[in-house]
Structures are given as C-alpha cells and as structure tokens.
C-alpha cells in the first residue's frame, strides 16, 4: 500500500488532466471517530503509487478552511498506513520578499485560529509534545532536492513563517500589520491544526505553498467587484499563480519517490515515544485518541 498522501489545497479539484497520474482504485471516504474523511484516491504516477485527498472538495471549493474536517482526514491517513504527508496551501504574501506565483517551503507556523478542534487527545493526559522542527526536515530536504532537478519556471523560496487565521473571511489591514509584526511572512487558513494533528499521530508532514495574492494593505490595490480576491491578485500575475499551483504535484511526487525506501529518523516519527515508554499508550494509535465531544461531522 502507498505510504504517502498528497493533500491538495486550493485548486486541488481543478488540476490539468494527467497531472496526478493514473487512478488505481475508486476513491473512498473513510469512516473515523470524527466523521467521514474527504474522498481518498489512489494514483500511480510513472510507477509510484500514492494517495491523494482534496481538502476543500472534489468538484470545486466546496468547504472553506474553518469547516474542513481536519481530524477525520488525518485519522483516515493514519488508518491507511500513511507515514508522510505533503500538503499544499495557497497563502497571501505579507513580507515583500514574496510575490504571487512563488512557491515556498515554510519552516515555521503561527496559529491564530479560534474555533477548530485542534487535538486528538481531548480530556487526556497526553499530547504535550514539542513542535520543533515544525515541519518534517526530511520531507523539506527531499522537496528541495526534487526542485533542483526541475526547470525554474517559478521561484522556490526556502523558509518563511505561515500565519494561520480562522477564516473564511479575509483579513483586515490592521490584522495583517499585526501578523507581520508577530513574525508572519505569509497568511493562510489551512495548515492549523492539520500540521499539529499529523504530529500527534507520528506522521511526517511538510507543506508546499503557492502564493496566491498580496495580503490586505501590503500593496495599494483597488477593489475589483466579482474578481478572485477582489483585486488583491493583479491580473498580470494570475497566470504565474496557476502555473505554480500546477507545478506542486510533480514536485511533491518527486520528493515522495525519493523517500520511498528511506527510513524515518526524524522527531515526527517518534513524537509520542515518551508516552509509549512509560506505558501510557500502546502501538495501536486507535487507542490513543479521545472520542469527539458532541455530534460527529460527516
């Protein structure tokens, strides 16, 4: 079975034909204690098998970031034997060193979300685990290596701090100034709690970002009625953004292929070891988690 999940973000439902490879099984939703996961697909790309899940929907942007069932999706990945997740997200640029159409491998994260279930361990005495490195360095290194073998139609920047907001609304100019002063380089809505949940289940996780727009107030951009981002993405840069998004699957698959036979010596692979050693948890992750409070989401 595949060990890698490519977790598609904005635009994951609208990739050019053939980008993901050949489907090798019908997609299926996985029942979890937290409700049903998004459909999980199995693909083969030039002899490499992997899973794919579109975070926001199958036919379009059907579920906004605060309403994605992150726990169900990560639990489903673990139940399928996934050990590595390469995700993508489309944030806006706060720092002037980033521009729409850039690809970015972030290395840090600030969580400004407010209302999302953020742990598998509600009411339990476990989950007090370190968040450094924030993203799996083995995957990040593989992504950089895979990029080095490709053409340079887009820029790929190594490093950056992703500030994650609640959404679904976009941010105010004052909020963007605050996030920038707090150290944020980019602002998006999807990496939290996804990255933290993967760490709780000892799954290696790292994202590739494609910068989709300028954050509010970064540039003096007029309001455009009915346009994507309502004017925060200049029309001249829209093509670069689409090209960057379409480049992510090949980059992610190349990185995952290079790690296929590699061991996992990273901290993410043993994040719960302290609890395992003292006998609080066993080998079956299903016994670690809490049942959700309230109604499960489908």
pLDDT of residue 1: 87
Cis peptide preceding 133, ω within 30 of 0? yes
Predicted confidence band of residue 298 (pLDDT cuts 50, 70, 90): very low
Judge whether residue 149 has pLDDT over 90. Answer: no
pLDDT for 222 equals 92
Kindly indicate the confidence band of residue 294, based on its pLDDT and cuts at 50, 70 and 90.
low
* Per-domain boundaries in the chain: 4-287
Q: What is the mean pLDDT of residues 192-218?
A: 98
pLDDT at 270 over 70: yes
Distance of CA 263 to the CA centre of its chain: 22
Task: Tell me the DSSP string of 54-65.
Answer: ETT-SSSS-S-G
pLDDT band at 152 (very low <50, low <70, confident <90, very high): low
Using CA atoms, how far apart are residues 57 and 297, in angstroms rounded to an integer? 15
Give alpha helix (H) positions in the chain.
70-79, 137-148, 173-181, 194-200, 238-259, 273-277
The pTM of the full predicted model, rounded to 2 decimals, is: 0.96
The per-residue pLDDT for 5 is 98
How sure is the predictor about 227, in pLDDT bands with cuts at 50, 70 and 90?
confident
CA distance 1 to 84: 13
Mean pLDDT in residue range 148-164: 86
The fold adopted by the segment(s) 4-287 is Rossmann fold (3.40.50)
260 close to 3: Cβ distance less than 8 angstroms: yes
Q: Which residue has the higher pLDDT, 64 or 149?
A: 64
**pLDDT confidence of residue 29:** 98
């Amino acid at each position: 079975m595949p060990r890698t999940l490519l977790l598609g973000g904005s635009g994951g439902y609208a990739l050019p034909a053939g980008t993901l490879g050949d489907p090798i099984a019908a997609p299926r939703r996985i029942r979890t204690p937290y409700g049903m996961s998004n459909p999980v697909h199995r693909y083969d790309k030039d002899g490499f098998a992997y899973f794919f899940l579109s975070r926001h929907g199958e036919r379009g942007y059907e579920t906004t970031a605060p309403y994605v069932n992150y726990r169900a999706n990560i639990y489903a990945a673990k139940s399928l034997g996934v050990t590595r997740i390469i995700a993508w997200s489309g944030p806006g640029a706060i720092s002037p060193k980033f521009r729409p159409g850039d690809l970015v491998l972030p290395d840090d994260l600030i969580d400004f979300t407010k209302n999302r279930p953020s742990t598998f361990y509600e009411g339990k005495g476990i989950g007090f685990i370190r968040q450094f490195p924030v993203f799996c360095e083995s995957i990040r290194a593989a992504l950089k290596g895979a990029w080095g073998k490709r053409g340079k139609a887009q820029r790929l920047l190594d490093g950056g701090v992703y500030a994650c907001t609640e959404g679904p609304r976009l941010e105010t100019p004052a909020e963007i100034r605050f996030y920038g002063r707090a150290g944020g380089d980019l602002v998006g809505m999807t990496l939290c709690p996804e990255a933290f949940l993967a760490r709780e289940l000892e799954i290696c996780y790292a994202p590739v970002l494609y910068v989709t727009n300028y954050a509010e107030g970064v540039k003096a951009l007029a309001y455009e009625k009915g346009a994507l981002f309502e004017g925060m993405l200049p029309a001249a840069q829209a093509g670069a953004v689409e090209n960057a998004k379409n480049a992510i699957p090949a980059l992610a698959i190349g990185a995952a292929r290079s790690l296929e036979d590699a061991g996992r010596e990273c901290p993410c692979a043993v994040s719960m070891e302290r609890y395992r050693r003292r006998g609080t948890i066993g080998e079956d992750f299903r016994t670690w988690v809490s049942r959700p409070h309230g109604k499960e989401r489908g």
